[in-house]
Each structure stands twice: as C-alpha cells, then as structure tokens.
Amino acid sequence: MQGSPVCVSRFICFCVLLVPLSGCHKAVSPVKGEPFAQVVEVRQRSVTEDPAVMGNFPNGWQMERPNGPPMPAEESELDEFQERLAKIQVAPIVLEDLAPGATRKVELQLGGPSGLNGLVRWIGTTSPLKVTVSLAGSALATTGTTYHFGRDRGGSSLNAKTTAGGPATISVTNTSGVTVKLRILFAASAL
C-alpha cells in the first residue's frame, strides 16, 4: 500500500477505532468473590513537627509512648527475665536537684564479684558532670560514656566489674555553674 503519510495515519486511526466495534476485543469481567483489601489512611506527623527533633522536651523524665498490641503468651520471655532479675541488686533511684559544686553518692553492698552499671542523667546543662564508680574507695570507672541532647540535657553511662564484694558507690559532682535536675540509677549483677 502506497500513499501519503497523511493517508497512512488516517488508515491506522480508522483501524484502531474499528477493532472495538467489530467484537474482536472483549472486556474481561472481574473475578467475583475475591475480597478486597481494606485501606486505612493515617496521617503521619512530619519529622519537622516532632518535639524531639525540634529540641522541645517536657521538663520531666517521662516521654509519650505509643500504645502497641500486647505480646502473645508464647513469645513471652518472662521466665528468663525473672531468673536474671534474681541476680540483680538495684539501689533506689535518686531524683533530686543538685546545686553547682555539690556531690551526690549512691551505695550498694556487694556480696561478691559483680558487674556494676551506673546511669546518670541531668536536665539543666549539656556539659558533662563528674561521675565515678568505685569499690571500697578505689575508683573503677570515671566519667564513662557521656552524651548530650537538646538544649539542656546530658547523661553518662558507666560499667565496671569487681573481683570481690564490698561497698560499691557511684558519685556525681555538679561541675557546671547551674543547678541540675539529677537522676541516678545504680545496679549490680552477681557474676
């Protein structure tokens, strides 16, 4: 077939229009009885609206936590947790204001070799405070891993092992120039 390009394109358009009318093309009907997925739309807060990203924290320790579904009983690790918990001593948690230059100590009496864990957090400065873990007056760990976040929060985490029992102490000295809200958690686990 020879012809001008305009004639060829008109012929193709005519064929395209003629095919559905001639019955050569048949629409497929949807399968009946198939359930469709239910779509639930939830608006997720933008990262720029997140208070933690913006540096706006409440003036306390507790943060909002979303509620999740409970853990199924067959996945529970409660027995293992209770066995480990029996070997752990935890000093009462300290929550208090600490003036500049002041020191706060927390003590645990150890019955034998133990692993010591100290977690200190403060609100009021991002500067690191002086933190020491000791056994019977001998320093085992100082400063630890310090961190800060937001405009006025910081903390330190210390870990140490002892080869004997005795009085274990964690002490925190406020080396900043402002009063800080202090939280101390001190625990020991028998080895």
Q: pLDDT for 152-185, tens place per residue?
A: 999 999 999 999 999 999 999 999 999 999 999 9
- Burial tier of 23 (Cβ tally within 10 Å: 0-12, 13-18, 19+): exposed
pLDDT attached to residue 122: 96
Residue 59 domain-assigned (yes or no): no
In percent, the amount of the chain with pLDDT more than 70 equals 70
Structural tokens at position 100: 């500049």
In percent, the amount of the chain with pLDDT more than 90 equals 48
pLDDT attached to residue 46: 80
On whether the pTM is more than 0.75, the answer is no
Residue 80 domain-assigned (yes or no): no
Residue 55 domain-assigned (yes or no): no
Residue 186 domain-assigned (yes or no): yes
In angstroms, the CA 72 to CA 18 distance is 62
Q: Is 162:175 a contact under the CB 8 Å cutoff?
A: no
Residue 145 domain-assigned (yes or no): yes
Residue 3 has pLDDT above 90, yes or no: no
Stronger pLDDT, 137 or 51, i.e. the higher one: 137
Total of domains in the chain = 1
Residue 54 domain-assigned (yes or no): no
What residues have CB less than 8 Å from 124, skipping those under 6 apart? 152, 176, 178, 179, 180, 181
Residue 148 domain-assigned (yes or no): yes
**Residue 106: which of 170, 187, 10, 182 has the closest Cα?**
170
Range(s) of the domain holding residue 158: 90-190
Tens digit of each residue's pLDDT (9 = 90 or more) over 76-115: 677 777 777 888 999 999 999 999 999 999 999 999 999 9
CATH number at residue 171: 2.60.120.380
Residue 17 domain-assigned (yes or no): no
How far from chain centre, in Å, is Cα 42? 22
C-alpha distances in Å from residue 52, one per residue of 60, 63, 137, 181, 183: 14, 10, 39, 19, 20
